[in-house]
């Protein structure tokens, strides 16, 4: 397998992560394309065993820079979210939309950890390396992300409130 | 139950990241704590919902613009890649340095070949300053590097393989100084031997081979030392030299 084949093989995973991260298909694919371009420009000296983690770390850097450029406040906060009309139904598309909206309401750094662990199934250590932060930071972000997502999902209108347990 | 369950472990349990024995212990422990079990179930439900919502992206056809972005840019010829490598080095080093965090738990050999290959790529093309101390001051070189690494070093003699010592330099490693010795043959072909002395687990390993870009690396661990021989030679030729290095270090 050549290096470009190996990278192509990672595209679906990158797209899934980017989709969940940005909440927007077109923006997600832009992010994937930026990631691929940057990765190929830096492919020299790359260790094949870590290709996925390496690509994700590139995407993380691009995403964080973009998030900063969007002035750190582009995501909706909880108060705004609660007023958006949304109904919980059994319908798949709505379920996806609700989750996607709640994810966007998480601070980007919490969203990243939640997705790397919960969706991409990375180990906590891998997530720490991808994000360039200590393991303890990954864990505390994960706790907060889960707690906050619980509150957001529970706060959706017409959806049963989940009991908050200390 | 051997030890109390931390919040970290509870999440690791929910994410199924624990060794089987600990997982079983926590499973039993949770049986008497339904409120915590409910919390774990909720985290798991979040993970399941993430998959249910986004796994479908994996099955979508990849947009042509993405696969084309890769195909357009095939891996470059080695020489050009080496030049571009310089530009990219900042990024690569940034990634490598982040590994330093993981080095406490990961075995030394995980990062050894990559770091050695990067050091090779940086210094082997140097025309005017390939080394800090030249072979003409070998005693000084050996004394200096041995002192800084806190271990007695001796650059192997590789004349039989056609390589003469050019000299050496001190480099920053993950947890302290590392040494690099450089050799050159009659054609100007260069090899570097990267030596670190900070292995914690004091293991011995067989030769392993890795390729980083155009650079081949044979590496092995020996007690507290990690060695990596890097060069742009065919694998079998590099192996001969690596064997000669190994024999001299372990007479």
The pLDDT tens digits along chain B (251 residues) read: 556 889 999 999 999 999 999 999 999 999 999 999 999 999 999 999 999 999 999 999 999 889 888 877 654 444 455 545 554 555 555 455 444 444 443 455 568 888 898 899 888 888 778 898 888 888 899 999 999 888 888 899 999 889 999 999 999 887 889 999 999 988 888 999 999 988 776 677 778 888 887 889 998 888 888 999 999 988 888 988 998 898 888 76
State the smallest CA–CA distance between residue A6 and chain B in angstroms.
10
Mutation target among B34, B41, B49 for the A interface, most CBs of A within 10 A? B49
- Asked if residues A146 and B43 have their Cβ atoms less than 8 Å apart, the reply is yes
- Asked if residues B238 and B208 have their Cβ atoms less than 8 Å apart, the reply is no
Residues A11, A64: one domain?
yes
The span from the CA of B184 to the CA of B34, in Å, is 68
Residues A81, A153: one domain?
yes
Where exactly are the structural domains of chain B?
7-57, 78-249
Residues A134, A156: one domain?
yes
What count of CB pairs under 8 Å joins A to B? 145
Residue B81: predicted pLDDT: 54
Mutation target among A45, A94, A120, A144 for the B interface, most CBs of B within 10 A? A45
Please name the member of B8, B50, B66 whose beta carbon is closest to the beta carbon of A32.
B66
Q: Is B235 on the interface with A (CB under 8 A)?
A: no
Residue A157: predicted pLDDT: 62
Q: Is B137 on the interface with A (CB under 8 A)?
A: no
> Which residues contact residue A19 at a Cβ distance below 8 angstroms, ignoring those fewer than 6 apart?
A25, A28, B54, B57
What are the φ/ψ torsions at residue B175 (nearest 5 degrees)? -130, 15
Quote the tokens at residue A80: 């705004």
Q: pLDDT (tens digit, 9 = 90+) per residue, B88-143?
A: 555 555 455 444 444 443 455 568 888 898 899 888 888 778 898 888 888 899 99
Residues A29, A88: one domain?
no
CB contacts of A44 in chain B (<8 Å) are 81-82, 84-85, 88, 92, 121, 213
Please name the member of B50, B53, B66 whose beta carbon is closest to the beta carbon of A33.
B66
Residues A48, A124: one domain?
no
DSSP one-letter string for A85-139 = -----S-HHHHHHHHHHHHHTS-HHHHHHHHHHHTS---HHHHHHHHTS-HHHHH
Pairing mode of beta strands B208-212, B225-231: unpaired
For the segment(s) B78-249, the CATH number from 3.40.50.920, 3.30.200.100, 1.10.287.890, 3.40.50.720 is 3.30.200.100
Residues A85, A125: one domain?
yes
Residues A88, A162: one domain?
yes
Residues A68, A141: one domain?
no
DSSP one-letter string for A14-61 = HHHHHHHHHS-HHHHHHHHHHHHHHHHHT-TT--GGGHHHHHHHHHHH
ipTM confidence score? 0.82
Question: A15: domain range?
Answer: 1-73
Q: Which of A46, A73, A100 is the last residue of a domain?
A: A73
Residues A58, A124: one domain?
no
Q: How many domains does chain A have?
A: 2
The CB density around residue A53, as the number of other CB atoms within 10 Å, is 20
Residues A24, A47: one domain?
yes
Residues A31, A42: one domain?
yes
| Helices B7-14 and A135-155: angle between axes, nearest 10 degrees | 70
Q: Kindly tell me if the per-residue pLDDT of A29 is higher than 90.
A: yes
Please name the member of B17, B47, B85 whose beta carbon is closest to the beta carbon of A45.
B85
| Helices A25-41 and A3-22: angle between axes, nearest 10 degrees | 150
CATH number of residue A163's parent domain? 1.10.10.10
CATH number of residue A68's parent domain? 1.10.1740.10
The span from the CA of A58 to the CA of A119, in Å, is 18
Q: Which of A11, A41, A73 is the last residue of a domain?
A: A73
């Amino acid at each position: 397998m050549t290096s470009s084949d190996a990278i192509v093989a990672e595209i679906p995973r990158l797209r899934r992560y980017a989709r969940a991260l940005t909440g927007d298909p077109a923006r997600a694919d832009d992010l994937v394309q930026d990631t691929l371009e940057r990765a190929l420009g830096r492919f020299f000296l790359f260790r094949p065993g870590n290709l996925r983690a390496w690509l994700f770390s590139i995407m993380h850097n691009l995403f964080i820079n973009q998030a900063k450029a969007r002035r750190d406040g582009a995501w909706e906060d909880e108060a705004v979210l609660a007023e958006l009309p949304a109904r919980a139904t059994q319908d798949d598309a709505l379920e996806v939309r609700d989750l996607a909206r709640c994810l966007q309401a998480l601070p980007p750094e919490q969203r990243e950890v939640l997705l790397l662990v919960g969706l991409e199934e990375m180990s906590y250590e891998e997530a720490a390396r991808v994000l360039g932060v200590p393991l303890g930071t990954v864990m505390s972000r994960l706790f907060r992300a889960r707690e906050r997502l619980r509150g957001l999902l529970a706060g959706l209108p017409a959806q049963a409130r989940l009991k908050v347990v200390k | 139950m051997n030890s109390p369950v931390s919040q970290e472990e509870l999440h690791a349990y929910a994410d199924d990241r624990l060794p089987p024995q600990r997982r079983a212990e926590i499973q039993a422990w949770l049986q008497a704590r339904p409120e915590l079990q409910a919390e774990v179930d909720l985290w798991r439900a979040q993970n399941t919902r993430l998959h249910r919502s986004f796994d479908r992206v994996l099955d979508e056809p990849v947009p042509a613009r993405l696969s084309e972005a890769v195909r357009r840019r095939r891996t470059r010829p080695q020489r050009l890649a080496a030049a571009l490598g310089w530009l990219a080095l900042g990024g690569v080093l940034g990634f490598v340095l982040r590994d330093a965090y993981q080095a406490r738990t990961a075995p030394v050999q995980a990062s050894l070949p990559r770091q050695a290959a990067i050091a090779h790529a940086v210094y082997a093309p140097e025309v005017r300053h390939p080394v800090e101390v030249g072979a003409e001051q070998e005693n000084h070189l050996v004394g200096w590097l041995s002192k800084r690494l806190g271990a007695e070093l001796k650059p192997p003699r590789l004349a039989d393989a056609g390589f003469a010592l050019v000299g050496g330099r001190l480099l920053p490693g993950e947890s302290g100084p590392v040494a690099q010795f450089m050799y050159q043959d009659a054609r100007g072909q260069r090899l570097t031997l990267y030596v670190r002395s900070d292995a914690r687990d004091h293991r011995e390993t067989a030769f392993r081979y890795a390729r980083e870009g155009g650079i081949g690396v044979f590496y092995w661990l020996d007690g507290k030392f990690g060695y990596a021989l890097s060069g742009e030679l065919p694998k079998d030729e590099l192996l001969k030299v690596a064997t000669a290095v190994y024999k001299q270090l372990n007479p």
